[in-house]
Structures are given as C-alpha cells and as structure tokens.
Chain A
C-alpha cells in the first residue's frame, strides 16, 4: 500500500513569489518530459529551471535566477535525496539538469537521474583506462554537455562520447588526443551552436595543448587550435626543437562564451616542465593564458597571458567570468578572472585589453606588482635546487573550483587559499608514461593553508567582505549564487554552506561528511527550487520542506 502524503497549500501575497505560485503544481502530478535542448536554449541567461551546462550558462557567472530559497528561509533547507557513485571517491562534476532530468558523471560513467527523487533513468559505463598518468589516472570527470537529445562526455583517455539522452546508448566515440600517451581528459564539454568543444589534461606531463571542436551530429572534427605554436609560428621561440610537443598549456576546464561577439574564452594551463623554465625560454605562449577564439573556426582573436614564463604551476584554467557592468563610468563587456597566481584581473573582453589587477591574498611573493600592460613585475623568486619559499603555493591562491557573480550585489565570489610552499627544481627529460614536473614542492615550516571566501567588487576593485574558513585548507569546493540573495559553497570543513550574498554572514550548513571537489548548482522541478553539490562520492540535493515554501 502506498503512503498517502498530505500537502499544505501555501497562498502567498508576496509579489516576489508570484512566479512560483503560478508555476507550482501538485507535487503528486507526473512530470512528462522529452529531452531536446536547442542551441537557442543554451543561450538563456541566467539559468533558472534548467542548469544546462557546466556553469549553468555561457557567462560563467553561476548565478541562478531562482529565488524561492532566500536569506530569510534558507535555514529551513532540508536534504532531499543522495546519489551515490560506486566508482569515484571524489566526484568533480557539476550536475546538468534539463526539464527535471539530471545528467551526472563519475569516472567514465554517465547517469540520467530523476531530478526530483535521484532515481536513475539510465547509466552508461566503460571501464576506466589503465596506464594513464597524473590527473587522468585519477579518472576525474566534471560533467556533460547536452544538445538536442544527445549527451556528451569526455573519458579519462580523451575520447569524446556522444550518448543518446533517452537511453544512454553510445552513438559515437571519437579519440581526440593522439600521438602522446600522456594525454587525458577531465573536463566537461562545452556545446556551442552545433559544435562540441573539448580540451585535455596532461599539462604537467609533457603534452601539447589544444582546444578542438567537433560536429555535434557526426563527431567530425570542425577545428582545432593548438595552444603551443608550431615551429615558425608566432611565439614559437619559446619552444626549441621538439619542445612544442611537450610544453603543456592544456585546456582542462570548459570555457565561457559571448554569443554577441561569437567569441569563446578558454583558459590554458601552466607550461611544462612545471618547475624548470630552462628548456622553454621566453614567455611560453600560450601557457597561462585566456584565449579568445572565434567559435565558428577556432581562429585566435586575442590572448592575455597572466603568468609569462611560469615556474610555479599557476594554470590559468580558472573560469573567465563574463560580466556586463558599469566600469569607471561606462558600461563595459568585462572578463573577470580570479587567477591561481593570486591576482584578480579585469579585461575588456571585446579586445583583450588589460584594465586592472588586484592581489587577493597576502601571501604572494613571486611578483611585486602588475604593470599597466598587465604584465607582472617578477620578484626573482624561482624554484631552486635547495628549495625556495614561494607564495601562493602549488595549489594556487584559487583554482578550478568555480567562482560566481551576482548581478544584484555586483560581487564576484570565490574561494581563496593563503599558503606558501618550498619549490624545488631538478632538470628532467621527457619520458612517455611519466609526469614532467622537473621536481616539486614541500611543506614549508610554519606554513599552514587558510581558505577564505572572498566577495570582490569589480566596479570599485575592492573586496566587500572576507569569510575566513575553519579547516586544513585542503578542500576544493566552488561557489554558486542566486537571486535569493545567497552564496552557496563548499566550505573547508566538509559542509555545504549558504551565506548572505550581501554581507557574507553564514546562514545555513549541512555536514556532508566528505571533502568537496566540486561546485554547486541550482534547478527547479514543478516550481520547487533545489540546490545540489557533489561531495566525495555522492551528490546531495536540498530544498525547502513543502510546508515552508
């Protein structure tokens, strides 16, 4: 016998809830959905009911227009369901939700879930790949792209898979990184128009980075932009001999996209070998850059390099957040990036022009300042045979876990890390199947990591608030912000937390019991707002109790 449920009908006169009450239907009613995500659907900004890509929309703002959950009621938030992955202890994906169906990935696996209950609709899997190196050997995966009735994911060995969204059946499989066994993939594909864009991991392992686009229907390659110039091309002077094949500059996070400019913004990793700049003299283009690429043909429009000749593993793969706002009196199309090197940058994204940079950590000694051109003034600190104390540490002042921007507060939220490490160098030859760091880092006596949630105001180039975290500084949880005036984030003590977006005051938390290596998102089913995040091997979802909505 089925249990009967009793629902309390809430009649609200609050205008901000009008949309919700209009949309709300009986939770007992069936949800009937077909998955057909048109390219125009992917242009919707900001996301609300659906969260249709890794960042929710192309802007990278991770701002949800949903506002059922507010600063006033967030303390009533309750766990709804938990999804467990049996083959990944550190899920890194952000779920994608379309019309009440959630798409999630773990190590070489994809799932379609009933977003209201967490029950699986289908499950695609293939064995993880043995013999990979570094990040790829951990089989991390950050999620899917969707287009019409298809779902796209990358595998640990850099294949792009096209799955039928109705069944999980494999439609096609493209091996897109060949010629070097150290390639891998950990990212979520980015779908733009009728193409699927992908990158690779292996930036610490001696591969040549690229961004590639594939026809979403056929899997045929449409274009490929190599992030390390070939001999004779502009920037090739950094790559003598065959170094251009080993120099890294990989593309292991999804980019962002401005449809008006038809420009894709894609970050590149550090150069390799990480800690020995000797084999790669000069600036090492296009490592540690944000690249502005034409979405149709992959041609480079402009680039901006954050850390020329990087010896510290300061990948520039943090999300390039696209913000349209008033800047110094004029409405501008900005690109804002809190970079792993410890500075938060503002660029004009129409042309790549540098506008400003501000340090966001105190522990920062690799550079003394940023010039008016955006180029850093180096301090001279560099890895050495006996070790050099360098800040930020190798994890970076921030990293790939997501920032977010709220257009109501005009604030960019991101998790920062204060720490330093001892950096060592020992020249190394490239060997297939081996990492290519040319040595590494050690804990520095007296140095302990401190995570801080920051709220940065790009318009004033100041920090509105700082929320220091309790914990060991080892978490990898990102942020998401909502029209309900909240910032959701994975804190440094294994709790999923909500803070007031205006003030940073903590308002709610839930102990997941596992470290988070992922970023949150929000969606709605039948008018009910959910927030979700992966923690450890599980996805947790939360919503208000029906009687409190």
Chain B
C-alpha cells in the first residue's frame, strides 16, 4: 500500500474520526469499548489484507461491527492506511547512522543486549526489540535511548518487594494485582509473592535502563544505534540451524 498525500491523509483521518474513534480513540490506543490498534504488536503484525477483512466483516462476538455496507473499497483502504499511520508506519524517516556499527554497539560497548534481545540473541529482562523499528520512528527510538524514564510504562518501573521478615527483592513486576506480585530479578529468577506475606512494595518511577547514554555514547554512536534499531523490522528469532550458545 503506497504512502498517501496530505489531502488523502486528511480524508482518511475524517473517516477514522467519524467511525472508529468512539471505540478505539483518536490515537487508536483504545477506549472504553475498543482495544488498542495503534501500538498493540499483534495488531501491528497483521497484514493489510487481515485489517481490511476485519474492517469489512467486523469481529463477530467481539463488538466490532463490519463496515462492508457503509464503506466502498477506496474508503476501506483509506482507513487501513490511516491505521498504519497511527502505528507509525509509512512516516517519513531520516536515518543517519551506520547499521553495522549500531549492531556492534548493541551487542558490545552500549551493552543493550545484556537486557534486550534482537533476532533471538541477547537478554531477557527487557523487551525483545526484534521488529521494534517497524513500530517506532527513529525519533522515538532516539528518545527512548537517551531518556528511558520519559513516559515510562508502570510495568517497566523498578519494583522492590520487602517481606515481613525483612528480605528485599528488586526487579521488574511481571504482573501485580491487589493480592499477589510476580517479580523477576536480574538473574532471571521469578519471585512469586502473596501480598499477605509482604511488608511493603515500593514502585520506583525509574527504568532499569541506564539514563546516561547521552554522556557515554557519542552523537555518532547514537545515530548508529538508532539506525540499527530502526532496521530491526523482522518479528524475531534467529535463522534455523544457527548456533545460539
């Protein structure tokens, strides 16, 4: 599907606003009645045909109506294009760095792979960045590197659980509800708590990711790293038969 002109973008936006935002929100990130279709990776991975089919036929039993009778094919395709825009795809991208150097940084000096994985290689405590470039613009990638605490999702905060007998566990909360906490520490161990056994749970509004990349990486290094991450557009996993360890 080709990128669209500003006038057709406006038309697509109008269609989306008039028919979709009530459930999915103006930014596509979900609302009272509909799920996030902008940053949800499962939705992002759908190809245009699948999105078109859902638009036409709806999701029976899921609350999503079909627009087969309301929209013609051009209008349906326009909505698909606008969903893609909300997902950050087809935006103009200027990438300055060198991907190869960026890859060397990712697995070397910048130590990103100690926590993140790309293509089946790397760590586990942070997100798998395979396909990250497909979903995020270079500007967003750069910002995420130099200021990881900006707009930090609550589930990515550092959490410390203190038991009633004084033991402390610090890591990432994989899940939490009113009665239990599932924590993972940097060594990969899962720590499964019932809150009745905890004296305190502390949420620190800070990421495990270092926040000093501006000082530890040169501007050129940052460009290279951004270039490598922006090129990470495949869903993940290594090629069959490749040695992992």
Are A161's CB and B237's CB within 8 A?
yes
Interface residue count for A (Cβ, 8 Å)?
45
Report if A127-B50 is in contact (Cβ < 8 Å); known contacts: A149-B188, A161-B237, A172-B238: yes
Q: Is A497 an interface residue (CB 8 A)?
A: no
Determine how close the nearest CB of chain B comes to the CB of A174; give it in whole angstroms.
Answer: 4
Q: Is B125 an interface residue (CB 8 A)?
A: yes
Report if A32-B190 is in contact (Cβ < 8 Å); known contacts: A126-B235, A166-B124, A218-B244: yes
Q: Is A16 an interface residue (CB 8 A)?
A: no
Are B45's CB and A127's CB within 8 A?
yes
Are B240's CB and A27's CB within 8 A?
no
Partner-binding segment picked from B141-149, B177-185, B214-222: B177-185
The listed residue (B124, B189, B193) touching A169 by CB distance below 8 A is B124
Partner-binding segment picked from A114-122, A185-193, A515-523: A114-122
A536 to B101, CA, bound (A): 50
Query: Please, what's the 1-or-0 string for B147-174, where 1 marks a CB less than 8 Å from any CB in chain A?
Result: 0000000000000010110010100001
Query: Please, what's the 1-or-0 string for B41-81, where 1 marks a CB less than 8 Å from any CB in chain A?
Result: 01001100010000000000000000000000000000000
**Interface pairs A-B: 8 shortest CB-CB:** A28-B197, A167-B124, A173-B237, A170-B237, A220-B241, A170-B236, A166-B188, A174-B240
- List, sorted by A's number, 12 A–B pairs whose CB atoms are closer than 8 Å: A2-B195, A26-B197, A28-B196, A35-B188, A117-B192, A121-B174, A130-B50, A170-B236, A173-B238, A174-B241, A219-B241, A220-B241
Nearest neighbor of A4 in chain B, beta-carbon distance: B196
The listed residue (B130, B197, B235, B239) touching A29 by CB distance below 8 A is B197
Secondary structure type dominating chain A contacts: loop
Are B189's CB and A171's CB within 8 A?
no
Q: Is B198 an interface residue (CB 8 A)?
A: yes
Are B237's CB and A34's CB within 8 A?
no
A130: chain B residues within 8 A (beta carbon): 50
Are A171's CB and B237's CB within 8 A?
yes
Could you list which residues of chain B lie within 8 angstroms of chain A, going by C-beta atoms? 42, 45-46, 50, 117, 120, 124-125, 128, 130, 161, 163-164, 167, 169, 174-175, 177-180, 182, 184, 187-198, 235-245
Are B241's CB and A116's CB within 8 A?
no
Determine how close the nearest CB of chain B comes to the CB of A125; give it in whole angstroms.
Answer: 6
Are B163's CB and A30's CB within 8 A?
yes
Are A121's CB and B175's CB within 8 A?
yes
Interface-central residue, A32, A122, A161, A217, by most chain B CB under 10 Å: A32
Are A30's CB and B128's CB within 8 A?
no
Q: Is A164 an interface residue (CB 8 A)?
A: yes
Q: Is A3 an interface residue (CB 8 A)?
A: yes
B174: chain A residues within 8 A (beta carbon): 120-122
A116: chain B residues within 8 A (beta carbon): 180, 192, 194
B180: chain A residues within 8 A (beta carbon): 114, 116-117, 119
The listed residue (A26, A33, A161, A173) touching B189 by CB distance below 8 A is A33
Nearest neighbor of B122 in chain A, beta-carbon distance: A169
Are A127's CB and B42's CB within 8 A?
yes
B130: chain A residues within 8 A (beta carbon): 170
Query: Please, what's the 1-or-0 string for A31-59, where 1 marks a CB less than 8 Å from any CB in chain B?
Result: 11111000000000000000000000000
B242: chain A residues within 8 A (beta carbon): 172, 218-219
A218: chain B residues within 8 A (beta carbon): 241-244
Q: Is A100 an interface residue (CB 8 A)?
A: yes
Number of A-B contacts (CB under 8 A): 142
Could you list which residues of chain A lie within 8 angstroms of chain B, going by C-beta atoms? 2-5, 26-35, 100-101, 114, 116-117, 119-122, 125-127, 130, 149, 161-162, 164, 166-167, 169-175, 217-221
Are B241's CB and A30's CB within 8 A?
no
A31 to B239, CA, bound (A): 36
Are B236's CB and A169's CB within 8 A?
yes
A167: chain B residues within 8 A (beta carbon): 117, 124-125, 128
A172 to B178, CA, bound (A): 36
Report if A28-B194 is in contact (Cβ < 8 Å); known contacts: A119-B175, A166-B124: yes
Q: A29-B197, A169-B120, A173-B238 provided; 7 other pairs, C-beta below 8 A?
A: A2-B195, A32-B189, A33-B192, A34-B187, A34-B190, A127-B45, A218-B241
Report if A30-B191 is in contact (Cβ < 8 Å); known contacts: A3-B179, A3-B196: yes
The listed residue (A31, A121, A170) touching B184 by CB distance below 8 A is A121
The listed residue (A100, A125, A161, A219) touching B192 by CB distance below 8 A is A100
Report if A166-B244 is in contact (Cβ < 8 Å); known contacts: A30-B192, A100-B192, A119-B175: no
Interface-central residue, B46, B120, B195, by most chain A CB under 10 Å: B120
A169: chain B residues within 8 A (beta carbon): 117, 120, 124, 128, 236
A279 to B116, CA, bound (A): 54
B192: chain A residues within 8 A (beta carbon): 30-33, 100, 114, 116-117
Are A217's CB and B245's CB within 8 A?
yes
A114: chain B residues within 8 A (beta carbon): 175, 180, 182, 190, 192
The listed residue (A34, A100, A217) touching B188 by CB distance below 8 A is A34
Determine how close the nearest CB of chain A comes to the CB of B6; give it in whole angstroms.
Answer: 31
Nearest neighbor of A99 in chain B, beta-carbon distance: B190
Determine how close the nearest CB of chain A comes to the CB of B181; give it in whole angstroms.
Answer: 9
A175 to B239, CA, bound (A): 10
Interface-central residue, B164, B184, B189, B192, by most chain A CB under 10 Å: B192
Report if A30-B193 is in contact (Cβ < 8 Å); known contacts: A169-B117, A172-B120: yes
Report if A120-B175 is in contact (Cβ < 8 Å); known contacts: A32-B189, A126-B235, A172-B238: yes
Are B175's CB and A172's CB within 8 A?
no
Report if A171-B46 is in contact (Cβ < 8 Å); known contacts: A119-B180, A121-B184: no
A28 to B161, CA, bound (A): 13
Nearest neighbor of B242 in chain A, beta-carbon distance: A218
Are B196's CB and A31's CB within 8 A?
no
Determine how close the nearest CB of chain A comes to the CB of B130; give it in whole angstroms.
Answer: 7
Are B120's CB and A170's CB within 8 A?
yes
Determine how close the nearest CB of chain A comes to the CB of B72; give it in whole angstroms.
Answer: 24
A127 to B43, CA, bound (A): 9
B167: chain A residues within 8 A (beta carbon): 30
Interface-central residue, B161, B180, B190, by most chain A CB under 10 Å: B190
Nearest neighbor of A176 in chain B, beta-carbon distance: B240
Are A2's CB and B235's CB within 8 A?
no
Nearest neighbor of B245 in chain A, beta-carbon distance: A217
Are A171's CB and B120's CB within 8 A?
yes
B175: chain A residues within 8 A (beta carbon): 114, 119-121
Determine how close the nearest CB of chain B comes to the CB of A162; give it in whole angstroms.
Answer: 8
A130 to B42, CA, bound (A): 15
Nearest neighbor of A125 in chain B, beta-carbon distance: B42
B244: chain A residues within 8 A (beta carbon): 171-172, 217-218
Determine how close the nearest CB of chain B comes to the CB of A9; give it in whole angstroms.
Answer: 15
Nearest neighbor of B175 in chain A, beta-carbon distance: A119
The listed residue (B184, B189, B235, B240) touching A175 by CB distance below 8 A is B240
Determine how close the nearest CB of chain B comes to the CB of A143; give it in whole angstroms.
Answer: 20
Nearest neighbor of B240 in chain A, beta-carbon distance: A174
